[in-house]
Structure formats: structure tokens, C-alpha cells
Structure 1
Amino acid sequence: MTIRGGWTVRVRLTALYGGLFLLAGAVLLGVTYLLLAASLEKQQVKPGIVYAEGVALPDDPPDAAKKDKAAVEKANIERKMEFAKQVQRDLNRQTLQSLVQWGSLALGGLAVAGVWMGWLAAGRTLRPIARITETARRVADRSLHERIALGGPRDELRELADTFDDMLERLDRAFDGQRRFVANASHELRTPLAINRTLLEVAMGQPDASPQLRQLGTTLLEVNARHERLIDGLLTMARSEQAVVDRVPVDLAEVAGNVLDQTRAPGVDVRHELLPAPTSGDPVLLERLAQNLVDNAVRYNATGGWVHVACTREGTSTRLSVINTGPVVRAYEVPGLFEPFRRLADRVGSARGTGLGLSIVRSVARAHGGEVYATPRDGGGLVVQVTLPAN
């Protein structure tokens, strides 16, 4: 688990465990030093103790022969005792120094072992959290059917995983209900629209139909067609709101070429540069993606303008680019174009648009593991690029 701008949680836990090992070792070494020093301090040199031969003692004073023999012996004993005490103090000091030196080396080894053991312990502790993170990443790709299903004892991490699973279950039911509602509502609305279109066409086809009736019928047919496109777009969005599972190889350049062959753009010069761009996914959804991009570029263009469509493969990804001339688009207005039923002020009056074109493009791209980007073109128009994983 990586924390941006700082240490990872595992490194922090390792530093904590290693620091605790080091602190415990230092405290143990200090206590041992104090106890040993106190024990050595209590030891005293007693008269009659035998010292090793060859130990040099200070010479007797020159006037020792003039003193009483008992006094000389007492003085010798006192001098030997003082010398022995000095030897013992030196021995104690060397013992404590040796304890500090070897104890410091042992403490360093303990710190290294503590860091290593802390690294292993932190990894084992964070393993369930890493599993939760991986599941959350898959869920971010609209795979709401994923579950953590963490085993082991019912501890804090198990409780966290179970809570996350419950949340995923509720989200999955909510999104499924939303998709079913949109699909069912769109499907049910198709029938009356089809009936309306049939009645209008029959009424307009009557020999005695007046010019006013024909004009009204033409207007109503255009409104009816717009509603049909809106419902079709809602169905496409409901279908593309989850990751595509059944993928087949698709050449994005071939899909774009088929769309261009069916495009009618009077007054607009449509250019293309289609290089092989293999990917995988749902051919119908990918064709709708390309069609929406091309239709959007043609619809919101200027007389005498142009549209350039390009496909290419770049490393591990394929790219579909659609560039068009047209009205000036400001940078802060671009994000709103990808929201459902959101259009620029000068596009609201369009009778052909539904406000779902670029929303469907984004939904289809994300369902295929890709992304879509748009930037204003200098002089007016848009530059829209769709990036998908290469096959």
C-alpha cells in the first residue's frame, strides 16, 4: 500500500517494529550494564587472597628496616591491598567496556533482525488490506460482481472486508436496478413511438392530405425520430455501463471505415487516415462509439469545414482520433460535453442532437478498459481521442 508523497504503510510498520526491537535491546543492554556494574562494585578484596606470581608491587620504603617488623608487615599488606583494589577496578572497567562493545554489536544485529522480521510481519498484516485494494480496483472498472470473501478469524480486517462486501452488494443491486429500469423503460417507449410514426406516415400518404397536414406531419416525424434516437441512446448507455466480458478481436480502423462509408456530410470535407488498430471488445458498441464521434463532428461543424478521422496503434494501445472544425469551444466547457443531456449553449437548439453522443462514447470506452479525451482545437472545433487496449 503506497501513500503518495510519503512512506508506504508497510515501511512505516517496519520502522515501528524495528524501532521497538532496537529500543527493547537498548533498554536490556542498559539494565544489564547497571546490574553488572553494581555486582562488580560490591566485590571487595579480602586479606589473604592469593595473587598470581610475577605481579610487580611497589618497593618498600628505604627506611623500612628502621621500623618495627609488625608495622612493616602491616604497611606491606595495606599497599598490596590497595594495589589489588586498583587491579580489580581496572578489571571491572575492562569488563564493562567489553560488555558495552559486544553488547552494541549484538544490538546492531538485533536491529537488523528486527527490521527484517518487522518487514515480514508488516507484509503479513497488510495482506488482507492488499486484497481489499485489488478488489476495489477491479470494482472501479465496473466489475461490481467482485467480492473479497476474506477468510480467517473474525477480526478487524475481516470486519472491514465483510463491510466492503455488503457495500458492493448494495451497489450492485442499485446499478442493476437502474440498468433494468432504463432498458425496460426505453423498450416500452419504442412501441408507442413506432405507432406514432406509422400513423403519421399513413396520414401524410393520404391523397387528400392538405399541405398544412403534410407540413405538420413532417415536423412531428422529425420530433418522433429524435425521440427514437434518444431512446436508442439510453439503451446503448444502459448496455455499456458495465465492463465487456465477451470480447472478440476488432480492428478499430475497419469499424471507422464502415462508419465513414455510411456518413453523409454535405458541405463538410471528411478526411481519414486509417492504419491497422487491433483491439478486442463488442463490435456493435465500438461501431456506435465511432459513429457518435463522426456524427458529432459533422453535425457541429461549419459550412466548408472538415473532419479528420485517424486510427493508429501506439505500443500497447490503439487510438481513434476525430478532429473537426466548427464553433469555438472553451476549455472549461469540455467536461460538460461528456455529461448526459449536457450541451453547449449554441447546440441546444439542434433538433437532431440528443445530448447523449459523447456520454455514450465515454461509457463505451470505459466499458472496454479505455478512456476518451477532448481538447479545444485552435480556431474552433474539437480534438477527441479515444484510447483502447491493443489486442
Structure 2
Amino acid sequence: MHRAPGLSVRLKLTLSYAGFLMIAGSLLLAAVWMFLLRGWSNGLNIPDLSDFGRAFDPTNFGPSVFVPAAILVLAFLLVFGLVGGWILAGRMLAPLTRITDATRMAAEGSLSHRIRLPGRRDEFRELADAFDTMLAQLEAHVAEQQRFAANASHELRTPLAITQTLLDVARNDPHHDSGELVDRLHLVNSRAIDLTEALLLLSRADQRSFTPEPVDLSLIAEEATETLLPLAEKRGVTVETSGDIAPAIGSPALLLQLTTNLLHNAIAHNLPDRGTVWVTTSVHPTSVLLTVENTGEKLTPQLVSTLTEPFQRGSQRIRTDHAGVGLGLAIVKSITHAHDGTLTLTPRPAGGLRVTVQLPAAPPHPSRSP
């Protein structure tokens, strides 16, 4: 935005300090003249209000030196106010200068710089602390986006490279079995489509492009369980659902995707045989909880803390043919944040993972009057 040049804040503060000092000095000199000098010459009688106008007439002054002395005093106060106000304004605005320098550095792309303004809390330090917090969040967000872009490029390049290799082999070997080639190309292409759809869903969740409406998490959990029950039976995993009606506000489609991702993750990363998944919902005064818990190998807190990052498949966990595209828990995290909720991942002491999604509860419907 283009703005016309104007006076600096420091100069404005300086003029304000000096002007206030001049007014205070003038009032002080007027009080000295009216109540002391005039009162002394009249036998310490307080002058009447009608004498107020004549009090500033130089011909009525008693001491002939009062006017020159008053002028000198006012001149001294003016110089003192300007110099002192300039120094005080500089000291007062020094934190603002540091904040401005940090803002310029951030605008030039340096997000690692921090103000770290010392001293006790005041308005400037609260502004500096808020700016430091914003810079830290921006730096983390930019770094996350850069990692995501690099990982997405790598993941999308992999199926394209495989497709190119298969086509080169088929071109160089005309007698190669075309049926096997078609099957492999179909598998690679399906994986690329799944990855693209997951990226689109992740972008949709981040942008909050949905219309909130009432939704029951318990019904969402039952629907996701019915959908993935064949996969659980194929892998010998038992799925147990329980809990109360959990009314929330959000997107039924996104919350169904969230629950499906959690349940699929719990089934795929489970024990090789006789594994168990528990899906429960609960209600609290201001929130509702969806908990998905599964058996499996023991996980370290360090590994669990990275599972919500994009393209983290938990390679140190059980390797399966249902590894997915590495965006399952990342999508869960984005959907949870889009619904103003919190996502908590905790390793189970006996092995496996416990995932808790906490969402704001839907406001109660107003009771109808009889």
C-alpha cells in the first residue's frame, strides 16, 4: 500500500512531550505571578477573577524582571522538552525498531530470526512474543510444506518410473506376455490413482471446504467397521465396537474417511494372527471422543510421534501388502484439525497403538416448550 510521507512516531512523541512541558510551564509561571508576586504586592491578597486578564499585561507586572525571566524559563523548558522528549521517545520506541527489523527480515524470507525482546512484560514485549510465535509457526509450516512437496513428488514419480520401465521392456521384447504386463500396469496405475485421490482429500481437509452439519460418531464408526470387516476377516483380526451416541458437528464424509483410515491402519498394522481392534466412542461435557486401539508390535514414542507426517508408513512396523500410500494418518490429522479437534497417538504397553480423536460436542438442541 502506497502512503504519503509523514512525521515519524518519534518526532510526534517528542513534540507532544515538549508541548505538554511548555503548557505545564506556562501554567506554572501564571500561577507564580498571580498567587505569589501579585499577592505579595497586595499584602498577600488573592487577586479577584476580574484581574485575570490584566495579570498578563506587562504594564501591570510588579517586578520588572519577571517577563524576561519567564521568557528564559519557557525557552529553557522548550529546549529541555525537545531534547529530553527525543531521548525518551527513542528509548521507548527501541523495541519497536527491533520488531520492524525482524519484520523486514521475515519479508525477505528469513523465518529463523527471532526478536527475543528482554525485560518484563508490556505492550511491546507482548507484541514481540506474539510475533516470535507467529514466525515459529510459519517456519514450521513452510518446512512441513517443503517436505510434503518433496515427498509427494517422489511418491508420484515412483509409479510413473515403474510404468515407463514396464513399457520399455514390452517394446524391447515383443514376445513378452502382454497379459502380465497389463496386470502390472493396472496395479501401478491404481496405486497412482489412490495417491492422487489421497492428496486431493488432504488438500480438501486443509482448506476446510465443507459445510458443517450434525453427525453421530458412533454411527460413523459402525459404518466404517462394516466396510472394512472383510479385510479384518481375511487377516484374522477381530473388530469390537462399543460406546455411546457421540453427537458432533462436521462433515460426515470427512469424518467417515477419518474413521476408515484409523480402522484400516489398525487392521493392517496388527498381529499376524488373532489380532484385535477396539473402536469406542464416548461423550464428555464439551467434547466427544473416538478411540481406535489395536494389538501389534511394541512401538517406541519416537516412532509414534512421526506417524502423522505425510508418507510415513511406519516402515519399522509390520510390513504388509496393505501399506497404503503413506497418507492415512496425515489425512486423519488434517481432518481432525479442520474440525477444531485434537489427535493423540499413544503406544500401548502390551504392543500396538491407541489413537484418540477429540472433537467439540454438538450443542444440545433447545427443549421445546409444552
Q: TM-score, normalised by structure 2?
A: 0.49
Which TM-score applies when normalising by structure 1?
0.46
Larger-Rg structure:
1
